[in-house]
Structure 1
């Protein structure tokens, strides 16, 4: 308990300039990862239902490619929603002036941190890096999902099992 208290006190004391970044960033990571996992779980159930209800096995390659394409699009929509959650948080805490700029920054931070035309003030800079960390986690989950789905719907993979 004392270790947790000591760690928390470091975050909230005045001499810890980025403590507030961690206090906003960590819950945002947790929320977006949970949202992403639930979204990917829903998509995986739907993909398997659709895939197992196919009637013509000769068109499985085209159907597999379409399935992967649609699921990639829907995973991208999940990423957009999660970037929106971060953008709303940036506006709420006053780190960025409006939702349009916040969304631009958020997508940049989540995907290519360090290559944007919008910058946070010095005392908010760490939260952008924390969002980049969140992006790595979310994109890793999406990559694992798409790899699994590719194996699941691929005619060559299914034949070898």
Structure 2
């Protein structure tokens, strides 16, 4: 049991670092968008583009984390091909838990470790996207106080 946790720990640390990089990039890009409204007029479509960029960056970060776990599964000899390892990783990371592909008893505990990693990282991604939406609502209200709810 301890062997599986210690084996997964470096990938877990890598995932935290990847998430931090993608959160930072998303928030920096979004802050740049908000701070430079003169370059492009602020319209509904500019909001849609900004939020879409944040969402896509966060999804890309999560996908790269799934890919990192899949590489670990291949290195451990759990799967013969990358596509199966990636599928299993995505099922674990997203906490779906289909159970159609099961790892060997020796490394089976890596599944819940990856699931814990995934649910935490999806939570962080959701928080970043929610923060961007709330910021856009505040910006809209400040720009157009007539449309603000009572």
Is contact 1:109-1:132 (8 Å) kept?
yes
Q: Is the 8 A contact 1:87 1:103 kept in 2?
A: yes
TM-score relative to the length of structure 2: 0.84
The gaps in structure 1 that reach 5 residues or longer are: 1-17
Using the size of structure 1 for normalisation, the TM-score is 0.79
Residue equivalent to 2:123: 140
Aligned Cα root-mean-square deviation (Å): 1.8
Match of 1:102, SS state, is helix
Runs of 5+ consecutive residues of structure 2 not aligned to the other structure = 146-150
Q: Mark the CA change 1:157 to 1:38 in structure 2 (over 3 Å): closer, same or farther.
A: farther
Q: Answer yes or no: is 1:156 the counterpart of 2:140.
A: yes
**Structure 1 runs of 4+ off > 4 angstroms?**
157-160
Q: Deviations over 1:19-58 (max 9, x none)?
A: 221011222212101211122101211121123222324x
1:92–1:141: structure 2 CA closer, same or farther, 3 Å change rule? same
Structure having the higher helix fraction is 1
Number of residue pairs matched by the alignment: 141
